[in-house]
Amino acid sequence: MLQQTQVATVIPYYERFLARFPDVKSLAEAHLDDVLVLWSGLGYYSRARNLHAAAQTVTESKDGGFPRTSKALASLPGVGRSTAAADRGVRLQQARKRSSTEMSSGARASFRGAWLPRRETGRESPVEARRIAGAQEGHRAYTQALMDLGASVCTGPRPACATCPSRRAARPVRREKWKRIRGRGRASPWPLKKTAMLLLLREGEVLLEKRPLVGLWGGLWCLPEIPREPIRAITAGVDWAQSSPSTKRLPLLRHGFTHFTLNITPVVCQVASASPCASEPGQVWLTLEEAAQAAVPAPVRKLLNSLQAV
């Protein structure tokens, strides 16, 4: 959960997740939709799918135990060298390569005049980590402290050097050169993408469809995306002879991703007749309340909640 997501955001998700899945076995036996429901809002849903698949791999292994070697850990879905090394450092208290968050604080503390480019951090980290940690014991406490420092105090754009517990040992503070430490540079404007989503209503129910596992919002239930022009050129399975645009209007919704911004135009349509409206495989009719509590992306939940409030 902490990959690409801030600690403050993760904590409530983490607590709910552990309450529902207290061990690997319960996670492995759960339906993927149940996992995605608790993950909804965190983004990067491939992490949830990989976590679920990894739990199944562990429970189906011959010994039923969690891998103890880096090679075996890295073979699990969604686990690479960095995650495997981090696990060994925290769970097994073995020295290993530091994460980029840890190295950011370590790099400032051992300032040598410039910030390591992101692509070089992976190559330089093992040497720097061994230099900082040395042969000390308590790798778990040291690792956690360094991560906390990087996440809460030694942040990228505005490090809180004045309140840093390591300020006396940090070379940049002593030399008043910490401002020279470069970040990633000025970010380019995010690309803007546009789409329109259909909120097709039928006697208090709304139509959702399953997204492909690969791609944006993979495996989640979502509102059908439709061509912006013309509006009536919508997905198969909807009898438009019995449908008409609703008088309800929802404003444009802007949703930010890591690498782009998505403008969503909601199109609300009401099935005029009480006769059944067909749905294709991978589609389902749910009440607005049920739909908002399903495994849906955060912007879809916002649209559903907004529609209930209209």
Domain ranges of the chain: 99-187, 192-309
Residue 243 has pLDDT above 70, yes or no: no
Residue 148 has pLDDT above 60, yes or no: yes
The pLDDT value recorded for residue 10 is 92
Among the CATH numbers 3.60.20.10, 3.40.710.10, 3.30.70.240, 3.90.79.10, which is that of 192-309?
A: 3.90.79.10
Using the structure block, give the residue that is written with the tokens 């940049």.
172
CB 243 within 8 Å of CB 272 = yes
User: Distance between CA atoms of 58 and 80, rounded to whole angstroms?
Assistant: 16
Residue 206 has pLDDT above 50, yes or no: yes
State pLDDT tens for residues 14-33: 999 999 999 999 999 999 99
The pLDDT value recorded for residue 223 is 95
Lowest mean pLDDT among 23-27, 47-51, 219-223, 281-285: 281-285
Q: Which residue has the higher pLDDT, 170 or 292?
A: 292
Q: What are the E-state strand segments in 148-252?
A: 192-202, 205-210, 221-222, 225-226, 243-245
180 token code pair: 């020279």
CB 180 within 8 Å of CB 114 = yes
The pLDDT value recorded for residue 271 is 80
* pTM (predicted TM-score): 0.67
231 token code pair: 């509006």
Residue 175 has pLDDT above 60, yes or no: no
CB 300 within 8 Å of CB 197 = yes
Mean pLDDT of the chain: 75
Beta carbons within 10 angstroms of residue 149's beta carbon? 22
Contacts of 139 (CB under 8 A, 6+ apart): 89, 90, 93, 94, 95, 133
Question: Is the domain 99-187 a CATH 3.40.50.1220 member?
Answer: no
The pLDDT value recorded for residue 19 is 96
CA torsion 83-85-88-90 (nearest 10°) is -70
User: Residue 125: which pLDDT band, with cuts at 50, 70 and 90?
Assistant: very low
Q: Which residue has the higher pLDDT, 147 or 299?
A: 299
User: Distance between CA atoms of 147 and 106, rounded to whole angstroms?
Assistant: 10
Q: Which residue has the higher pLDDT, 145 or 264?
A: 264
Pick from 18-32, 101-115, 138-152, 176-190 the range whose average pLDDT is largest. Answer: 18-32
Long-range contacts of 174-183 (CB under 8 A, 24+ apart): 175/111, 177/111, 177/113, 178/108, 178/111, 180/113, 180/114, 181/107, 181/108, 181/111, 181/114, 181/115, 182/114, 182/115, 183/115, 183/156, 183/157
User: Residue 13: which pLDDT band, with cuts at 50, 70 and 90?
Assistant: very high
Residue 162 has pLDDT above 90, yes or no: no
Lowest mean pLDDT among 5-14, 237-246, 265-274: 237-246
191-210: average pLDDT: 92
Residue 242 has pLDDT above 70, yes or no: no
54-72: average pLDDT: 82
The span from the first CA to the last CA of the chain, in angstroms, equals 34
Lowest mean pLDDT among 14-28, 51-65, 167-181: 167-181
User: Residue 239: which pLDDT band, with cuts at 50, 70 and 90?
Assistant: very low
- Please report, rounded to a whole number, the percentage of residues in the chain having pLDDT higher than 90: 32
Residue 295 has pLDDT above 80, yes or no: yes
Residue 304 has pLDDT above 70, yes or no: yes
